[in-house]
Amino acid sequence: MSFDVVVIGGGAAGLSGATALGRSRRSVVVVDAGSPRNAPAAGVHNFLSRDGLPPRELLAIGRTEVKRYGGLTLDATAVSVRRAPGPAGRIGFEVELDDGQVLAARRLLVTTGQVDQLPAIPGLAARWGRDVIHCPYCHGWEVRDQPIGVIATSEHAVHQALLFRQLSKDVVVLGHTAGVAPEQAAKLAAWDIPIIDGTVASVEVTDDRLVGVRLAAGTTVPRSALVVTTRLALDAALLAGVGLTPEPHPSGLGDVIPTIDPTGRTAEPGIWAAGNVTDPAAQVITAAAAGLMAGARLNADLIEEDTPLG
Ligand SMILES: Cc1cc2nc3c(=O)[nH]c(=O)nc-3n(C[C@H](O)[C@H](O)[C@H](O)COP(=O)(O)OP(=O)(O)OC[C@H]3O[C@@H](n4cnc5c(N)ncnc54)[C@H](O)[C@@H]3O)c2cc1C
């Protein structure tokens, strides 16, 4: 099968880009492995008009909108991408899927997102997206006024603690593996946020509810929500065949696919990227906006290529 654009990744960014392309009468397919980053969460917040909608419901609506304008969606994983020049030496690509299919495309939109890697603390992963959280704008309101523990694995913990202190007066920083530098400790003291030294050995759960953490020294700290910093991971191997190499993001949270303009154009001709794969801080609505920008620019790029000169 051959398309104007193959979109790799069917989260908010990819589906939004595909909708823009379909509405411009472009043939487009979204290949999606079905694991959006926010899947463990009960609802999407800070998305105007969609507050609280379960993440997969939002994406199901997005898929319907893509199909309304003639786009296709495929439940599959792209395993490799390579250049395969089109007629008259024009830009072209082949995308190989895990079921062996090969899709031909004039352009690519990469919206594969990121995978959160959690601190290696027994019991933590099972609570992820529920009462183990990372983002005050995603779940902060839901844990307001609760006893919150921020697990320090980097200096980012202080920033998180200050943000969550806006939502609850009962915030503590658990020093864990990073501790808190003296100049940062002053900021915490200004907001009456205690620092509890010691490595977190495990997460305590009762009746499917987080109730605290146990420190390596044996003491427990009662908490009903934990805040962590995750390390973000993307699939670098997928894009190696087209020369796209991830670079560290300045935030230190992980690597991203570098883009060279605000529409998500990469340095590799014919390839755009959008959403968390380029911006770890992108929320669902901003990932969708970035996908739209990329879709619109991809359409214009194809028009430029098809415009006869002279
Ligand atoms: C627990 C949690 C809760 C969150 N809650 C909120 C919230 O309330 N509000 C908010 O705005 N943001 C929230 N976020 C952030 C939100 O998850 C991201 O903003 C959003 O998912 C980014 O969209 P995306 O399209 O870039 O990536 P994703 O949504 O992650 O979508 C990427 C898609 O690409 C697919 N994919 C990956 N590799 C391939 C491949 N090789 N082939 C095919 N498909 C592939 C994945 O399976 C996935 O379906 C939350 C994040 C987490 C971790």
DSSP per-residue letters across 241-310? GGT---EE-TTSSBEE---SSTT-B-SSTTEEE-GGGT-TT--HHHHHHHHHHHHHHHHHHHHHHHS---
What is the 8-class DSSP label of residue 177?
T
pLDDT of 309 reads 83
pLDDT digit string (tens) for 263-283? 999 999 999 999 999 999 999
At 163, is the secondary structure helix, strand, or coil?
helix
Over residues 77-104, mean pLDDT = 95
Q: Ligand 1: distance of its center to the CA of 38 in Å? A: 5
Q: What are the Cα distances from residue 131, in Å, to 124, 158, 300?
A: 9, 19, 44
* Closest ligand 1 atom to Cα of 37: 30
Q: How many CB atoms lie within 10 A of CB 130?
A: 16
What is the 8-class DSSP label of residue 174?
E
pLDDT digit string (tens) for 21-59? 999 999 999 999 999 999 999 999 999 999 999 999 999
Q: Ligand 1: distance of its center to the CA of 274 in Å? A: 11
pLDDT of 283 reads 98
User: Which of 16, 37, 238, 239 gets mutated to test ligand 1 (max ligand atoms within 8 A of its CB)?
Assistant: 37
* Phi, psi at 186, each rounded to 5°: -65, -35
The protein residue whose alpha carbon is closest to atom 14 in ligand 1 is: 38
Q: What percent of the chain has pLDDT over 90?
A: 96
pLDDT of 87 reads 81
What are the residue ranges of helices labelled H in the chain? 12-23, 55-68, 136-139, 156-165, 182-190, 236-239, 284-306
The protein residue whose alpha carbon is closest to atom 21 in ligand 1 is: 37
Residues with CB under 6 A from ligand 1: 8-14, 31-38, 40-41, 44-47, 77-78, 111-113, 116, 129, 135, 138, 235, 238, 275-276, 282-285, 287
